[in-house]
Amino acid sequence: MEIRLLLIVAGIAAVFWSFRSWRQAVRLGMVLLIFEGALRKWVFPGAQDLVYFAKDVFFLGSYMGYLRARPQLRSLPLPGPLTAGLTIAALWGFLEILNPNLPNFLVGILGFKAYFFYVPLLLVIPAAFDSDADLAQFLRRYLLIAIPVGLLAIFQFFSPPTSALNMYAWGGGEEAYVATFGTSAYVRVTGTFSFITGFTSYLQAAIVLSLALLGVVRWRLRGNLFLYLAVGMVLMSMMMSGSRGPVVMLCLLFPLYWWLSVAREGGSGATFGRLLLGIGLLAVFLAYAGADALGAFYGRASGGGEGMAERIASPLLSPLALIPQVGLVGMGIGATHQTAMAVTAGIPPYSWLQGLATEVETGRIVVEIGAVGIVLIYFIRIFLTLFAFRQVFRLRTRFHRALATAAFLFALTQLPGGAIFDVTSGVFYWFFPGLLMAAIKLDQSVAATATARATAP
């Protein structure tokens, strides 16, 4: 009880600090996203519910600080269709809080948070960085966090399922509750995250961002050894997680990355040569340092191909099957969310769904906010994807184009992804468009400076 009270007091203090130092707070929130699960598992196991909202405290304070400072900031208007889509979707989500199928208002409020709480990152991220150097330094340091996270994953991989290193955030380091590679003794690692899903979402974001930064430096090895090491750790962690989705997605996206970040850029021939050398070095690193992880991953991937086609098709088929049952309105925002059980004590879990159940995010969106809701959500997702792709061809500097490429590639991964019901994906889903808007703002500054110099007497 004392620890919980201390955390509540610390949270209130953090809101006030974040309000005053909102630029630093949004960065700290992004870092906490990585370490929140570790705090829940090993530092504050008795207050996991409070620690779950730790990053949100800093984000909330940064939003309020941004609103206070906004009149003095150079505003960057969002594209009209995106603003309209977000406004209508938020209004629809608010109305869905009142859906009579929900067991109480708290479920709806938590559901609304899952859909819309991280949207302001679109505006706060570009306002938090005043220069290319500041943004590049933050992103580089942020990616280097993957090195200690990867080292922890290695220790987890070679530890038994009963080890405290392999417990999940809801407890249970017991072997019965820890996922392994089938009959293998190796565990599917979670790194600093509470469960495998959040860890793989982080790895997916980290590999997209790291490829973008390597593209900026044209895959040069000199001066970028730690960046290469971070990429190696991310790739090895993907293998040790046992999740096939990020690996398949990386293979599908890499040709697009090569076209947008290598082939189209100046000095593409030399960059391509260094790219091949870099891939070779990473392959050697994985082969020697991660042989056991590669073997375990290959065993799982080769043994689970029968249902792969259904899993790929399910994001499209699930909504089509559920719309006739839930109609235009659905069962209420938050109805299927995992946090609903925390605020519905005494009610049988998910009894309000009337037997409707699905694991696929697109299906869950339909169940919660109906056919109208999924149209609005996917209008936003598709628009963001196309908008990012367009900026790849419009921005003037290599660094800005690299950020646009990263935003485009990550948006593609989330078209069938879990940006609403997986909080890690949800934060990164709006963080990348925030980076895109930052790139547009900084690119406009470069253009204005160049124009001023050209017209100076």
pLDDT digits (tens, 9 = 90+) for 374-386: 999 999 999 999 9
pLDDT over 90 at 285, yes or no: no
Out of 78-82, 142-146, 161-165, 443-447, least confident range:
443-447
Buried b (16+ CB within 10 A) or exposed e, 253-291: beeebbebbbeeeeeeeebeebbeebeeebeebbeeebe
Q: What is the pLDDT of residue 242?
A: 86
Q: Are 333 and 369 in contact, with CB atoms under 8 Å apart?
A: yes
Tell me the pLDDT of the chain averaged across its residues.
89
Q: What is the pLDDT of residue 265?
A: 87
DSSP label at 76?
-
d(CA 407, CA 438): 11
Tokens of 186: 């190796």
Going by C-alpha positions, the residue among 27, 94, 177, 87 that lies closest to residue 380 is: 87
Tell the residue number behind the tokens 């309105």, with chain if given.
329
Q: Are 311 and 360 in contact, with CB atoms under 8 Å apart?
A: no
C-alpha torsion sign, points 298, 300, 302, 305? negative
Q: Are 187 and 179 in contact, with CB atoms under 8 Å apart?
A: yes
d(CA 308, CA 194): 26
> What does the pLDDT average to over 84-91?
96
> What does the pLDDT average to over 111-132?
95
Out of 227-231, 320-324, 363-367, least confident range:
320-324
Q: What is the pLDDT of residue 1?
A: 61
pTM, full prediction: 0.94
